[in-house]
């Protein structure tokens, strides 16, 4: 699917570092470089919110990880925010090689149980965008938000928009993203947000089958094409 869709940047959720993310890095090493750490220890343990970027198209300028907790610079679980799991985010500043245009990208996965954790995590993400991107580059945020697009948590991200809604008519869809292997319909908890001056040219939920497999995961991948 990745080799067919050829994303310029790709954000993972729920990829175990040593069993899955490293495997993707190895399988795609001719075309992609990447970065990510295990959320449980900041090294190799647990799930990884890793980012891959296509080496022929994208140059990585700066990159790192923070945790969705009151102590974001160390591996930590936000118990005071009612989080059920360690949650982390990978951030980066990237440059489009052909144009020199830069953007700030964060990839993450909000807590599946803690409502307060999701709300506080979005506040933290907003602050971190300000920290990493003081010059006002276009911002992109991809995540399993574990919240519908109408959730109040998105009010904590001033100036960011859902690419699904902002793509031109005929170049977007209303498909389910989380389907639980076909058991759930209508859930759109996976989204890609962006800020101006970027504009969305296309949004797509990747429902096409690959290798005669009905589902690649319990979520469909989603992509957005942006003009910077």
- What are the sequence ranges of the domains in the chain? 2-227
Average pLDDT of the chain? Answer: 97
Distance CA 32, CA 145 (A): 26
Report, as an integer, the average pLDDT of 127-154: 97
Report, as an integer, the average pLDDT of 134-150: 97
Distance CA 122, CA 154 (A): 7
Residue written as token pair 């009905």: 214
pLDDT at 96: 98
Residue 187 has φ and ψ, to the nearest 5°, of -90, 120
Tell how far CA 203 is from the center of its chain.
14
Tens digits of residue pLDDT in 71-111: 999 999 999 999 999 999 999 999 999 999 999 999 999 99
Of 66, 50, 68, whose CA–CA distance to 156 is shortest? Answer: 68
Look at phi and psi of residue 39 and say left if phi exceeds 0, alpha if psi is from -120 to 50, else beta: alpha
Residue written as token pair 């069993």: 19
User: In this structure, which topology does domain 2-227 adopt according to CATH?
Assistant: Deoxyribonuclease I; Chain A (3.60.10)
Q: Are strands 139-144 and 160-162 parallel, antiparallel or unpaired?
A: unpaired
How confident is residue 189, by pLDDT bands cut at 50, 70 and 90?
very high
Instruction: Give me the percent of the chain exceeding a pLDDT of 90.
Output: 99
Report residue 55 as tokens.
Answer: 């080496």
CA angle 9, 14, 15 (to 5 degrees): 65
């Amino acid at each position: 699917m990745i080799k067919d869709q050829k994303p310029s940047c790709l954000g993972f959720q729920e990829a175990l570092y040593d069993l899955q993310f490293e495997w993707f890095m190895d399988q795609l090493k001719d075309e992609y470089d990447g970065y990510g750490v295990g959320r449980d220890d900041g090294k190799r343990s647990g799930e990884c919110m890793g980012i891959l970027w296509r080496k022929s198209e994208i140059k990585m300028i700066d990159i790192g990880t923070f945790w969705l907790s009151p102590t974001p610079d160390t591996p930590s679980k936000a118990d005071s925010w009612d989080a059920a799991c360690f949650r982390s985010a990978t951030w980066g500043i990237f440059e489009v090689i052909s144009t020199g245009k830069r953007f700030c990208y964060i990839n993450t996965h909000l807590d599946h149980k803690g409502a307060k954790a999701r709300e506080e995590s979005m506040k933290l993400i907003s602050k971190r965008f300000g920290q990493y991107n003081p010059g006002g580059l276009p911002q992109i945020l991809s995540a399993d938000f574990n919240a519908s697009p109408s959730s109040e948590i998105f009010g904590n991200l001033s100036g960011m928009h859902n690419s699904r809604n902002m793509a031109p008519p005929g170049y977007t869809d209303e498909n389910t993203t989380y389907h639980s292997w076909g058991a759930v319909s209508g859930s759109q908890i996976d989204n890609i947000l962006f800020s101006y001056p970027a504009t969305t040219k296309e949004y797509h939920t990747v429902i096409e089958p690959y290798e005669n497999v009905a589902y690649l995961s319990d979520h469909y991948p989603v992509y957005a094409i942006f003009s910077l």
